[in-house]
Copies of this chain bind each other. A is one copy, B any other.
Amino acid sequence: MEIFYHKKKIVESTNSWAISEVNNIDENEIHVFSADFQIYGRGQGNHTWSSEDGQNILMSFLVKNLNVKIQNQFLLSRIIALAAYNYISEELLNDKVEIKWPNDILVNNKKIAGILIENLVMGDVIKATVSGIGININQGKFASDLNLATSMIINDNKQRNIEIEIKKMAENYKECLELYFKNGDDYIYKAYNDKLWGLNATKKFMLDGNIVECTILGTEKDGQISLLMPDKNKKSFFHHEIATCY
């Protein structure tokens, strides 16, 4: 797969930009849309991605006709999460990198990256997928409500060239896509689960307004998290049904 790079200084969101280009790309191409700054970072629900101008990675991947069904859309979250995990792990060799369900990347228990997927669907087939990711690179301080955030520079004191880091991340994304084509979704499913934050550990969750302690057993094929509840029964939840506390 060939990678094509597109860059702007300011965009509304890199995901929106990518979506507007969906008619201009071919199959088997990875298109990367990046910006120094986005006015309106779309997070899942009310969460927006706060980023200092030019200090961090803000990028979206656009790929067409992966032949994934909408029922299997969590596969696309797994692929980008794995790519980010691999990229960050290679940079921060001495730190603990984990994937926090459904699609954050943590370094030493602090959030370094967030992911947002948007799909173009016809019937039950995903015709195009946009995988947006923000990764904190050179930003040394975060607003107080983000005190659980971290960045590369906070962890290793190294200033990085954002353009170069975008290319490294894109190569990792390409590699993960190719691993999926070669080995199928079972392979991706297992690789994601192996890197899961809190796997086999007891963590606090917010469920129906209460905090409950559950053991994380892994994720299901459909993207649900599988938990051992306080009553020792196994139960699975979709993203909007439960929140993790950390």
Contacts and interface: CB of A to CB of B under 8 A. Distances in A.
A104 to B, nearest CB: 15
Given A16-B23, A19-B19, A20-B20, A120 B118 contact: yes
A17 B10 CA distance: 24
A122 B127 contact: no
A238 B240 CA distance: 27
A22 B17 CA distance: 10
Contacts of A121: 70, 73, 118-121
Nearest to A45: B123
Interface string A5-32: 0000000100011011111000000000
Question: Which of A73, A120, A238 has the largest number of chain B CB atoms within 10 A?
Answer: A120
A79 interface: no
| Stoichiometry, copies per complex | 2
Interface residues of A, number: 25
Contacts of A123: 44, 117, 239-240
Contacts of A20: 20-23
A162 interface: no
A225 interface: no
Interface in A99-157: 116-124, 127
Contacts of A116: 122
A174 to B, nearest CB: 24
Nearest to A116: B122
30 contacts: A12-B23, A16-B22, A16-B23, A17-B23, A19-B19, A19-B23, A19-B120, A20-B21, A20-B22, A20-B23, A42-B122, A44-B122, A44-B123, A70-B70, A70-B121, A73-B121, A116-B122, A117-B122, A118-B120, A118-B121, A118-B127, A119-B120, A119-B121, A119-B122, A120-B120, A120-B121, A121-B121, A123-B239, A123-B240, A124-B240
Given A12-B23, A19-B19, A118-B122, 9 more contacts: A16-B22, A19-B23, A44-B122, A73-B121, A116-B122, A117-B123, A118-B120, A118-B127, A121-B121
